[in-house]
Amino acid sequence: MLAALGGGEIDRLPVVPLAGGWIAQTSGRPLGEIMAKGEVLAAAQLDVQARAGYDALYAYFDPLAIPEAFGCTVVLKEFGGPSVAEELPLEGSGSVLDRPLPHPQRDGRLPEILKAVSILVERSRGALPVAGLFEAPFTTASRLVGATPFLLAMMDDPALTERLLARVADALIEWGRAMAVAGADMIIMPDPVSSTDLVSPEQSVEFAAPARRRVIEALPVPVMLHICG
C-alpha cells in the first residue's frame, strides 16, 4: 500500500475499502462503543480486516470526530450511524471562527482515536499500514456550519469562506500530525462536497483545492485523496 502511494513498484494492486460504519455489523460490536472507545474501535477494525484481508488498518469509524471536537452536536441514530444534529454559526455569537482549535489529546473523541492508532500500530507490527482518516477542509467546513449556509457563503462572501477554510485547515494539520506521531502511516482524506456534483469546477479549484493542498503538504505521512461523486 505504501509503495503504491509513493509511486513505487508493486506486485499487485492494494485493496483498501473505506472501513467505516459497516464494521459494526460485521464485527458484532455496538455502534456506540466503537464510536466512544479506542480499544473497541481497534478491535473491530482488526477483526474485520482479518476476515476480509484488505491491505490497511483503519483508525476510523465516522467522519464527524473533528466537527464534534469543534463543538457540533453529534447524535447516533438507530439506523445510518452518527450525524450532526446541530451545526455551529459561521458568524455572530458562538461562531466557529472564534472557537479554539480542537486539541488532539483532549477534545471530544480525538484521544480515543489516537488510542486506536496506537493499538493498531502495536498489533500490526509493521505487517499492514495504519491509516487515519479525516475529511478535507472544504467538506469539514460544510459539516461545521451546514452545507447550505457554507455554499451560500462561498458565493456571497468569498473572504469569509476562505477564513473558515484556513481555520479548518489549521485544525486538520494539527490532527493529522497527532495521528502521525501516534504511529499512523498514512491519511485518507475524503472530500465529497468538493465534487462537481455540488460545486462548479471553478469553485472547487478556487476554494477547495488550496486549503486541501496546504493540509496535504503539511503532513509528514502520505495522503490518499478520495473525492466521491
**Distances from the Cα of 173 to the Cα of 86, 104, 160, 179, angstroms:** 24, 11, 20, 10
Cell of 152: 451560500
Q: Kindly give the residue spans of alpha helices, DSSP state H, lying in the chain.
A: 2-5, 22-27, 31-36, 38-52, 65-70, 110-124, 137-145, 147-156, 158-182, 201-203, 209-218
Tell me how far apart the alpha carbons of residues 32 and 220 are, in angstroms, rounded to a whole number. Answer: 31
Distance between CA atoms of residues 101 and 98, nearest Å: 9
Report the percentage of the chain scoring pLDDT > 70. Answer: 98
For residue 81, what pLDDT is reported?
75
What size, in residues, is the chain?
229
In the beta sheet, which residues pair with residue 74? Answer: 84
**Contact status, residue 69 vs residue 109, Cβ threshold 8 Å:** yes
Q: Bridge partners of 83? A: 75
Q: How confident is the model at residue 60 (pLDDT cuts 50, 70, 90)?
A: confident
Residue 22 has pLDDT above 80, yes or no: no
Q: What are the tens digits of pLDDT across the range 184-215?
A: 999 999 999 999 999 999 999 999 999 999 99
Average predicted confidence (pLDDT) for the chain: 93
| Structure-block grid coordinates of residue 207 | 476554494
**Beta strands 82-86; 73-76: pairing state:** antiparallel
Residue 176 near residue 134 (C-beta atoms within 8 A): yes
C-alpha cell at 182: 501516534
Residue ranges and CATH numbers for the domains of the chain are 18-226 (3.20.20.210)
Phi/psi-derived region of residue 81, left when phi > 0, alpha when psi is between -120 and 50, beta in every other case: left
Q: Answer for the pair 209, 198: CB distance below 8 angstroms, yes or no.
A: no
Residue 11 DSSP symbol: S
Mean pLDDT calculated for residue range 58-66: 91
pTM for the whole structure: 0.93
Amino acid at residue number 42: A
